[in-house]
Structure 1
Amino acid sequence: MMSTAMRTTLIPLCVCLLLASSLSEAGKLLVVPMDGSHWFTMRSVVEKLIRRGHELVVVMPEVSWQLGQSLNCTVKSYKTSHTLEDMDLAMKDFAETHWKVREDDILSLWSGSGYKFFELMFSHCRSLFNDKKLVEYLKESSFDAIFLDPFDMCGLVVAKYLSLPSVVFTRGVFCHYLEEATQCPHPLSYVPVILLGFSDVMTFKERVWNHIIHLQGRLFCHHFFKTVLALASEVFPEPVTLYDLFSHTSIWLLRTDFVLDYPKPVMPNMVYVGGINCHEGKPLSKVSSSSFSLEGLACFDILCK
């Protein structure tokens, strides 16, 4: 009988091969994206998966900023309880408050306009599960894996509900759940809490403050995600924690570069893939050598020396 540890190791490997190898047999993937700038980078990956022959089903809300653009795959949409104007207003309020809040007072942002904005985003998942026909379709479709953005948490709930191996595509995760879900060491004396502005070489006072802010975050996060937990309690027969949702992930594709973050340990299923939230870059225009003057070349030679 295969040990639990071996099965845990093989699942991420299989999912990685499914997404990365052009030689492997095409798979059937469920995609649960996040709207806005998050979709720019994820869409390019989705399009490449389609070109490689994978069968994709993208689940998205009917009301969105960017997700309504056409895709060469099956798209399943569900109705929401809010309008596009509601989203625009919540985002505007959130953005305006963001510029007024100091980095060391970031919790006030997430507990004010930020909390309202995310409550609206979290409501998508309840709308999805209220669509019984869509949920039944997802249960009967026999997907091989789910490709998701965890920003609004819905993909994590769907992955656990369908018991699918999941590949998470994200810039980062709120609070401490990335490190806890991957069982990755996260020594607070050396790894600063994001947005504090500390380096990885902290003074004793900074280390104490780093621990205090981390504790505040742990107390705050349960309140911040209470809507998600309330939904999970409706979907699953047994109580579900945030750790249960995040730890179900098989592969973490982190769309950043390790040189942009603090030095810290990473686990084998945490893969840095670059590109934050952006459109695919255009190639640089060609410049002929004749466009450079001899004077410019001489200056360039001096600078290089």
Structure 2
Amino acid sequence: MFSGLFPLLLLLLAVPPLAPQSPVQPEGEARTPQSPVQPEGEARTPESPVQPEGEARTPQSPVQPEEEARTPQSPVQPEGEARTPESPVQPEGEARTPQSPIQSEVEVRTPGKLLVVPMDGSHWVGLKVVAEEMARRGHSVLVVIPEVSMRLGPGEHFETLTYPVPYTQDLVNELLEGHAQNLQPSTGSLMEKIRKGWTRVSRLRSFLIATAESLLFNEELVAFLREQEFDAVLTDPLMPTGAILAHNFSVPPVYLLRGIPCGLDLVATACPSPPSYVPRYFTRNTDHMSFVQRVANFLVAMVEPVFCKFLFWEFDGVASRFMHKDITIAEIFTSAPLWLLRYDFTMELPRPLMPNMVLIGGINCAVKRPLTKKRKNSC
């Protein structure tokens, strides 16, 4: 038995043992990462500069395959891909941002429709300036005036519509002469002045009532005005015909006035008017009053509601008959959203104002006429 094992031991001792650090590895064995050569089909490490076709490239690769999603840094984007906000070009049909210099023609301002119901005399001067300017700016302005008047007439830009009245031009001329005589100094007694003043006011009120009834109870004319669907009514509240129409048409009125002598405009707007420093009409007081002047100013303020009743009580009846319900002019005035006052603190005394009161003092200066030779010589 030992004779057969002895040659085998000699053979084993003659063969040297294999070292584990051999640089050669058998085929099919996975190479270590230190090997510079990798077999085909093996996944390369990130350090390899070459990648096989079809393999997803890393972000460091300078070349990307076609139809691959590009990063936002790419200056070229494929067709149909949504561009980023930084792109100076936007696809057709995409909503532009507010910063775009080109805007769609969607917001087109349409001109408004304004109805003007003026008061005759010097009150027409301010209303005419506003009506002309509104019409010049492209708005549709219709001025409704009586056939017989003192100063009312057509304009350059607005349209006029006349209606018949029951008086003639002779009555208008008489009113103008009476007004001119009132401007002259009177030498009569106090009672004589009161009587003349009462007569003049009564005739003027009858004239205004006849004018208002001629317009309001003209059914054909009122129906035509209602069909026009005006956006606003510009009028003088001292002649409340336009205010009554605006209230009946449910159209916002705009009042242009210097002021109402009885202070009804202050009552309608709920504007504070303390008699301690706000002087009343016809008192000739200023905002600096003595004790006696303050007492007189306070007494006049207490009488103002009676004066308002005298001026507008017939208009209350006209408005109630026109709208078929009991209503007063004071209630109609409260619905006005805007009051344009021919008032300026440069020439007027200080007093409180409400937010819907806008001062437009001096607007009458836009209408000017050259003086005649006679007036130039008198000046």
Report the TM range for the smaller structure's normalisation. Answer: 0.7 to 0.9
Q: Does the aligned pair in 1 maintain the 2:339–2:356 contact within 8 Å?
A: yes
- 1:30 — aligned with what? 115
2:212 alignment partner, SS class:
helix
Conserved in 2, the CA contact under 8 Å of 1:118 and 1:152? no
Task: List, as ranges, runs of 4+ consecutive aligned residues in structure 1 with deviation greater than 6 Å.
Answer: 104-107
Q: Which structure carries more helix by proportion?
A: 1
Bigger Cα displacement from structure 2, 223-232 vs 128-137: 223-232
RMSD of Structure 2 on Structure 1 (CA):
2.5
User: Which residue, out of 146, 150, 166, partners 1:61?
Assistant: 146
CA distance in 2, matches of 1:129, 1:136: 10
Paired residue type of 1:43: K
AA aligned opposite 2:148: V
Counterpart secondary structure, 1:229: helix
- Of residues 185, 189, 193, the one that matches 2:280 is 193
Q: In structure 2, do the counterparts of structure 1 residues 43 and 208 end up closer, same or farther at CA, with 3 Å as the change threshold?
A: same
Say if 1:258 and 1:110 are closer, same or farther in 2 by CA, change over 3 A.
farther
Q: Is the 8 A contact 1:38 1:277 kept in 2?
A: no
CA distance in 2, matches of 1:282, 1:90: 23
CA contact (8 A) 2:165 2:214 kept: yes
Gaps of 5+ in 2: 1-107, 371-379
Aligned residue among 200, 209, 220 for 1:122: 209
1:13-62: CA deviations, max 9, x gaps? Answer: xxxxxxxxxx9531011111122222223212211111111011111111
Q: Secondary structure at the match of 2:230?
A: coil
Distance, in Å, in 1 between the alignment partners of 2:347 and 2:325 is 39
SS at 1:99's partner residue?
coil
Matching residue of 1:220: 307
For residues 63-212 of structure 1, the aligned pairs below 5 Å read 63-100=148-185, 110-212=197-299
Conserved? CA contact 1:37–1:278, under 8 Å: no
CA distance in 1, matches of 2:336, 2:122: 22
Distance, in Å, in 1 between the alignment partners of 2:234 and 2:125 is 15
The corresponding residue for 2:354 is 267
State the distance in 2 between where 1:216 and 1:276 align: 31
Distance 2:216 2:233 in 1: 16
Larger Rg: 2
SS at match of 1:174: coil
The residue type equivalent to 2:200 in the other structure is: S
Report SS of the residue matched to 2:254: strand
TM superposition shift of 1:98: 4.4
**Number of matched pairs:** 260
Query: 1:234 Cα shift?
Result: 0.7
Gaps of 5+ in 1: 1-22, 284-305
What is the distance in 2 between the residues matched to 1:189 and 1:37? 31
Cα distance in 2 between the residues matched to 1:227 and 1:203 = 37
Match of 2:317 among 230, 234, 238: 230
